[in-house]
Amino acid sequence: MIAQPKTVQNPGSGVSSPLSVRDLTVVYREKPALWDVDLEVPAGQLCAIVGPNGAGKSTLIKAVLGLVPVASGQVRFFGQSLEQARKRIGYVPQRGSVDWDFPTSVLDVVMMGLYGRLGWFRRPGRLEREAALRCLEQVSMSEFAERQISQLSGGQQQRVFLARALAQNADLYFMDEPFAGVDAVTEEAILHVLHQLKGQGKTVVVVHHDLQTVRDYFDHLTLLNVQVIASGPMDETFTPENLKQTYGERMRWQV
């Protein structure tokens, strides 16, 4: 596969990749968390970002979404800036990032996905409730709509976050470790949603930690360890050499 020429700086020139990252560097204190990351995410595919602990997987997502300060680099979405493309981007943070004892219901959390669309001073109403309920249905959580969120299991929490992102009705989704520590039912539900999104021509970028499943779940793979080690179609990228280079010599997994 021939590397695509980087024409991303001129928006509107043909079909632009959903996500194109150039020379992205993020520094926490002294140590770089991401170094000179280049990444082209192909449209309409399920893309995994894989790498060892501390490789900067989550940081990459947060950096492209503007959630952590970036030392240098350019990020374009569909050839546009983050501000311009904001409404086309959905985000599923790690579920451990919030306090699940917060006094709110499942449906309320899902409706938060519509806040960006609602704009200032408008409260969610009947239409928003119905939209949120449909999203809960997609992750098989309808019967939990009125539940207080502290009563959910880890997997159910994850599905609520997924439903909230679905409510955004985006074209490009970022999911931070959605499969981490979830039950089998939730894993099925997430996979179902991923394939649904793909069927609708949407692009999904997922931080994933499990090398056993990555080949079955995703079409495109980016191996990350501070730098991008390899990125491309799954078959070409998921090779022993690449994995060894990403995880070091003492890799625990047989490929």
Looking at beta carbons only, is 41 or 223 nearer to other proteins?
Answer: 41
Residues 6+ apart with CB under 8 A from 239: 230, 255
Q: How far is the CB of 93 from other proteins (least distance, A)?
A: 5
Residues near other proteins (CB under 8 A) are 62, 65-67, 83, 86-87, 89, 91, 93, 97-99, 102-105, 108-109, 112, 115-116, 118, 120-121, 123-124, 148, 150, 164, 168
Using DSSP's 3-state secondary structure scheme, residue 184 falls into helix
E strands along the chain, which residues? 19-28, 31-41, 46-50, 72-76, 89-92, 172-176, 203-208, 220-225, 227-233
Q: How far is the CB of 29 from other proteins (least distance, A)?
A: 8
Q: How far is the CB of 232 from other proteins (least distance, A)?
A: 27
First and final CA of the chain: distance in angstroms? Answer: 23
DSSP 88-144: GEEEE--GGGS-TTSS-BHHHHHHGGGHHHH-TTPPP-HHHHHHHHHHHHHTT-GGG
Looking at beta carbons only, is 98 or 185 nearer to other proteins?
Answer: 98
**Residue 168 and residue 115 in contact, taking contact as beta carbons nearer than 8 Å:** no
Q: How far is the CB of 126 from other proteins (least distance, A)?
A: 16
Using DSSP's 3-state secondary structure scheme, residue 221 falls into strand
**Residue 25 and residue 33 in contact, taking contact as beta carbons nearer than 8 Å:** no
Looking at beta carbons only, is 83 or 130 nearer to other proteins?
Answer: 83
Looking at beta carbons only, is 70 or 230 nearer to other proteins?
Answer: 70
> How many secondary structure helices (H) and strands (E) does the chain include?
10, 9
Neighbours of 121 (CB within 10 A): 5
Looking at beta carbons only, is 117 or 244 nearer to other proteins?
Answer: 117
Sheet holding 46-50, edge to edge: 89-92, 172-176, 203-208, 46-50, 220-225, 227-233
Looking at beta carbons only, is 183 or 235 nearer to other proteins?
Answer: 183
Structure tokens at 181: 């520590």
Q: How far is the CB of 100 from other proteins (least distance, A)?
A: 10
Looking at beta carbons only, is 60 or 229 nearer to other proteins?
Answer: 60
Structure tokens at 125: 């109403």
Q: How far is the CB of 207 from other proteins (least distance, A)?
A: 14
Q: How far is the CB of 116 from other proteins (least distance, A)?
A: 4
